[in-house]
Structure 1
Amino acid sequence: MDGSTVDWARRVAEAELGAVIPRRWAHTMGVARRAADLGRMLGEDADLLVAAATLHDVGYAPRLAGTGFHPLDGARFLRDEHGADERLMRLVANHSFALLEAEERGLREALEAEFPLLGEPLLVDALVYCDMTTTPDGEPTTAQDRVEEIVGRYGVDSVVGRFIRRASPEILAAVERVEAALAAQPR
């Protein structure tokens, strides 16, 4: 991937989210900034991470909400309307432990069949880190505070509340792994 993919991702995400869901767009831009900061850690996959970060929530766009599960709806949109890169679609579809939420929604089989989890742990963890250390308004936060914010926003007994509580240990572990990798990077 190259810079043109990142530019394309920004145009697509802004067209779908910018005017329709401005707060989601602010979060998206914050996640993309975090991804850009991880570039040195990911080398040749840096642009892929930024593109995935930019598109990770595109499935929230009302016109794309086929299932109401934004990772799956977003990945299907990228496949069906844009013929996007396979790795990019799989990252979007599976961001932030989406398989656990898909299970809560009865969509796990569909998600796994269409967009299998990418077997690249550092890249997967990096997207979790970017998403789960960014507030809904696009500002940096801790993963613990982000999990608490999500539970508070959606409610403990909601599908998202149940999912995020189940995913919390995995989210926190992924963030710790990325922080450790960042600390080990030469400056």
Structure 2
Amino acid sequence: MNEVTVDWSRRVAEAELADALPRRWSHSQGVAARAAEIGRILGKDAYLLTASAVLHDVGYAPRLAATGFHPLDGARFLRDGHGADERLARLVANHSFALLEAEERGLREELASEFPLLEEPLLVDALVYCDMTTTPDGDRTTAQDRVAEIRSRYGDDSVVGRFIRRAAPEIFASVERVEAALTAQPR
């Protein structure tokens, strides 16, 4: 992964989201900005983090929404439509504890078999951190406020509401691990 991949990722995400879902595009840009800020903790994988950050919600694009589960739809689009790097597709597929939401939707086996979770904990945590500390409009927030916003927007009894309640402890733990890594890593 390098700057070329990040540029390609931005172009793909913008083409799919900017006109169709401008608020989702703002969020994706904000998540990518966070990724660029914290990439130093990942060394050579900093570009992979930024590329996955800008693409993490591409599956929301109306023309890509085959299953209605954006992590799976987005990862399939990247893999099948673009021959994207396997690690990139796996990060998009599994961002922010997507396996838990996939379970709520009856898609856990499908997601896990097609896009196994990467065994790179800091990279996975870093994408959670970037996503869950960025508002829908692309601004910074705390993970606690982001989870509360998601619950309020979708309602506790919705699929997303049930998922986010289950995922919240894991989200908060990921954010704490990334913050500890940032504190330990000099600027």
- Partner residue of 1:42? 42
Please give the TM-score of this superposition, normalised by the length of structure 1.
0.99
Q: Is 2:3 aligned against 1:3?
A: yes
Are 2:75 and 1:69 aligned? no
Match of 1:105, as an amino acid?
R
Task: Give the structure 2 partner of residue 165 of structure 1.
Answer: 165
By how many angstroms is 1:98 displaced? 0.1
Q: Distance in 1 between matches of 2:38 and 2:123?
A: 10
Q: Within 2, Cα distance between the matches of 1:14 and 1:110?
A: 27
Question: Over aligned residue pairs, what C-alpha RMSD do you find?
Answer: 0.4
Instruction: Give unmatched runs, 5+ long, in structure 2.
Output: none
Q: Which shifted more, 53-62 or 34-43?
A: 34-43
Pairwise CA distance, 1:38: 1.1
CA deviations over 1:103-151 (Å, ceiling 9, x no partner): 0000000000100000000000000000000000000000000000000
Within 5 Å, give how 1:18-29 maps onto structure 2: 18-29=18-29
Q: Which amino acid aligns with 1:62?
A: P
Looking at structure 2, the residues matched to 30 and 150 of structure 1 have their Cα atoms a distance apart, in angstroms, of 16
Q: Percent identity?
A: 80
**Corresponding residue of 1:113:** 113
CA shift for structure 1 position 75: 0.1
Unaligned runs of 5+ in 1: none
Offset at residue 49 of structure 1 (A)? 0.2
State the match for 1:176 in structure 2.
Answer: 176
Residue 50 of structure 1: CA displacement? Answer: 0.2
Residue of structure 2 equivalent to 1:30? 30
Aligned length: 187
CA distance in structure 2 between the partners assigned to 1:111 and 1:88 by the alignment: 15
- What do the CA deviations read for 1:31-83 (whole angstroms, capped 9, x no partner)? 00000001211110000000000100000000000000000000000011000
- Residue identity in the other structure for 1:86: E
Helix, strand or coil at the partner of 2:88: helix
Stretches of 4+ aligned residues off by more than 4 angstroms: none
Q: In the TM superposition, what are the counterparts of 1:38-187 in structure 2 within 5 Å?
A: 38-187=38-187
